[in-house]
Amino acid sequence: MPARQITPRHRYLSGRVATKKVSSPQAFESLLEQDFLLLLEFDRGIYRFASQPITIRWKDGSCQHRYTPDVLVEYTPAMVDHYPYLKPTLFEVKPERILKQEWSTLKPKFKAAIHWCREYECRFRIVTERYIRTPYLSNIKFLMQFSKERFRFVDHYTQGKDQEVLRAVLFDLGRTTPQQLLDAVTLDNKRQAELLPYIWHLVRCNAIGVDLQQPLTMRSPIWSLETGTQLVMMMGGKHRTRILKILEDNNVKV
């Protein structure tokens, strides 16, 4: 349950983002917040997050004040092991223009949040469109189209075979591009159009690596994130034989 409900005055900007990281969709009250929640959902280093998580209260003389930060984020144990300084983090999402215009009003709220975080061993961070609206966000929005749901009308055997070919050929090629990978599989334009969505699906599933900080194109460098032994266990036929040969040439035992 969020600490503060989204009020009707925000309705034209508000909504909810579906997430697999918590049990219920998380609310946003601006398009910038929505974009930030998408970043959190896609980030494999984020364990879970919650919108409008707490309300911080403090007194200034006889006046009672309160402030509800936008999002609370917790990181995965693997991320914390790798970056020991990481702690649960309260985020405030604000456009730079609003920060500048309303700084005198916002500053006491942010100071209260910093004091609260020190007490509860958390961090407080402000994020703006400069951090959120990058090529990385555009790439995420593009890749979101290629979930399993997109292929729900394709039979499982066809899906499995098409992805098997792409994964095996990519492992064989090493570092390449989406266009070069398709050309290595087939030169038939119609067949390439059928296979291309599976490339982006495998990128989304973290089976294919790509630099998401750069705009995705058919010339973007891509590479396999799977080990040869993983592929051998999954595949048969000529692809298994070819991968075994590659592993043997590189003195890798299966």
**pLDDT tens digits for range 181-214:** 999 999 999 999 999 999 999 999 999 999 999 9
The pLDDT value given to residue 232: 61
- 210 by Cβ neighbours in 10 Å (0-12 / 13-18 / 19+) ranks as buried
Instruction: Give the pLDDT band (50/70/90) at residue 88.
Output: very high
DSSP 143-201: HGGGSGGGGTTS-HHHHHHHHHHHHHHHHHH-SB-HHHHHHHH---HHHHHHHHHHHHH
Among 62-76, 110-124, 146-160, 220-234, the minimum mean pLDDT is found in 220-234
The pLDDT value given to residue 11: 45
Does 159 have pLDDT greater than 90? Answer: no
The pLDDT value given to residue 10: 47
The pLDDT value given to residue 249: 67
Dist. CA 177–CA 116, nearest whole Å? 48
Average pLDDT over residues 165-177: 91
Average pLDDT over residues 73-88: 94
The pLDDT value given to residue 108: 94
Would strands 15-17 and 26-28 be described as parallel, antiparallel, or unpaired?
A: antiparallel
Does 25 have pLDDT greater than 50? Answer: yes
pLDDT tens string 90-149: 999 999 999 999 999 999 999 999 999 999 999 999 999 999 999 999 999 999 999 988
The pLDDT value given to residue 47: 96
Helix (H, G, I), strand (E, B) or coil at 108: helix
Which pair of structure tokens corresponds to residue 211? 């630099």
Instruction: Count the neighbouring beta carbons within 10 Å of the beta carbon of residue 49.
Output: 25
Helix locations, the chain, DSSP H: 31-42, 77-82, 96-101, 103-119, 129-132, 135-143, 156-173, 178-185, 189-204, 228-234, 237-249
The pLDDT value given to residue 114: 96
Average pLDDT, the chain: 88
Instruction: Give the pLDDT band (50/70/90) at residue 62.
Output: confident
